[in-house]
Amino acid sequence: MAKGFTRRSALINGVALTASFAITGAFAIAPSAKAEEQIESITWALPSIPDTLFIPHAWTIYTGAIMSLVQEGPLAFGDDLALKPASADKWEQVDPTTIKYHLRSAVKFGDGSPLTADDIVATFKYHMNPDSGSQLASFYNSVVTVEATAPDEVTVKLKAPNVQFAYTAAHMAGFVFKQEQLADKNIGTPEVLPLGTGPYKLVEFVPTDHVILEARDDYWGSKPVIKRITIQAIPDRQARLLAMQNSDIDGTFDLAISDVDQWKALGNVDIVTAPSLGMFSLILDHSAPPFDDIHVRRAVAYAVDREGLVKALLKGNGEAATALNPPEMWSGVLSPDEVRAFYATLPSYPFDLAKAKAELAQSSHPDGFDVTIPAPTADPYMVNIMQSVVENLKQIGIRASIQEIDHNTWLAQYFRHENLGMQIMAYYPDFADAANYPYLFFSSATAVKDGMNGSNFKNAEVDAFLKTANEKADPKARADALKGVFKIANEDVAIVPIFWPASAMAINNKYKLTGYTAFWYTIPWAIRGFGLK
């Protein structure tokens, strides 16, 4: 998991970024393409295309892979995962609770209209408005006000210092919408395609099927190499493989690591891998039976064969998880050795069906119970993970079954926070900070509709620790606070960690894409070193 990353801490424009990474070797920034290297068109595949392109109501990595080519925030992530200017040419931490963004001149939306400070203010306020139902609202919980303090300046005031907020302007929560479009309830549909200030504009959208984008000649940044991109949904893994073999597609993201050898055997394909910083886990609803019982949660935790799943599904390209955070997420807060030493002290639940049976026998459901677990089919691992878990649960008396479900339907159900029961969750980072995952999955503030805390895990001491981790810039203070969070979360089985996978993509070997990183779904990947070899 850690291969290719080095620990580094960045200080940019006075903002302390306590967790950034540098990618080395194959991921160096490519030189700008020459004019003669223009590519007329490519077809790219994704496991799923959303039913809306409005990110606040479709916050997924696949939506991001599309809309990161169309929209951008004031800031962006570089190939080293550190913050860099985007539609804002500079930003300033005025004081611990005030951030100012200065807009770059001559930035335009895809319809030719200029980006204004009011557009950024309207976007941020949309997420902050509870009536909007934004799935990214939690990233703005620390904001008191956001104002256009000049025609080319936006000022954000925070309730208290918040280390994580610095990243909000760079990932999907910061992608800027045109103010007038936010008032249109049809935004994100084929009739009202979202505008953005990114290198491409949307020209066609067939929900759940495909999207077509065209390069913009008036983009403020580097000229896109590819003139036209078609992104096609191909949920079935073997169908995607066949499409690549037949040259119907030029590449795809989110390969199952277990399929990599088949893709390599095609001969016309390059496989690019990177640490994903992602995590897979089981989410158990603490607020309702049967998972409100600690013994039931421990029984489930002991029934997960993590090492077996890493071998079978990841072919060793990943690691069995013992906690929520992949070790690399602690960079800038703890060293790799310190993380490993700390994780070794945490309460753990290695695969042991005898212990699982003993825990269930101590619970209020000693004879077991029935449970149905929804698993989205677009993800390369979720259904396969649950097949293993279900068989193990049956051996201890829990009568579990899988409901294979469309990805968009599953996500909508999860965000409704109704009848959560047991869920299989795959999550990838919004930014590389040790507090990102625990805030989303362990904070009481996110145990609500449209929040990520589907366990409904609530603990006042954890909330206090998270407050410290979010407000303190000092690495030791943050590390100590987060250690407190993880000790309580593991003891209480807040979630059941499964594994931390590597990430892989495939590309026709006549092309190159050197800017592939853990944040492929947040960056404009088609202009990050994409070109002819």
For residue range 384-397, list pLDDT tens digits in order.
Answer: 999 999 999 999 99
Distance of alpha carbon 343 from alpha carbon 354, whole angstroms: 24
CB 4 within 8 A of CB 24: yes
At 473 the pLDDT is 87
Average pLDDT over every residue of 217-232: 96
Q: Does the pLDDT at position 276 exceed 50?
A: yes
Q: Does the pLDDT at position 1 exceed 50?
A: no
Q: Does the pLDDT at position 357 exceed 90?
A: yes
Distance of alpha carbon 283 from alpha carbon 420, whole angstroms: 8
Residue 7 confidence class, pLDDT cut points 50, 70, 90: very low
Q: For residue 365, give the nearest of 302, 417, 298 by alpha carbon.
A: 298
The overall average pLDDT reported for the chain is 91
Q: Which helix (H) or strand (E) holds 338?
A: helix 336-343
Residues sharing a CB contact under 8 Å with residue 344, sequence separation 6 or more, in sequence order: none
Percent of the chain with pLDDT over 70: 93
Compute CA distances 358 → 301, 305, 348, 389, whole Å.
12, 17, 16, 17
Distance of alpha carbon 520 from alpha carbon 515, whole angstroms: 8
Between residues 146 and 23, the one the model is more confident about: 146
Q: What is the CA radius of gyration of the chain?
A: 22
Average pLDDT over every residue of 526-531: 94
State the angle between helix axes of 475-491 and 460-471 in degrees (0 to 180), rounded to the nearest 10: 160
DSSP state of 82: -
Distance of alpha carbon 420 from alpha carbon 454, whole angstroms: 7
Compute CA distances 437 → 139, 281, 324, 342, 495, whole Å.
12, 12, 7, 17, 12
At 257 the pLDDT is 86
At 24 the pLDDT is 26
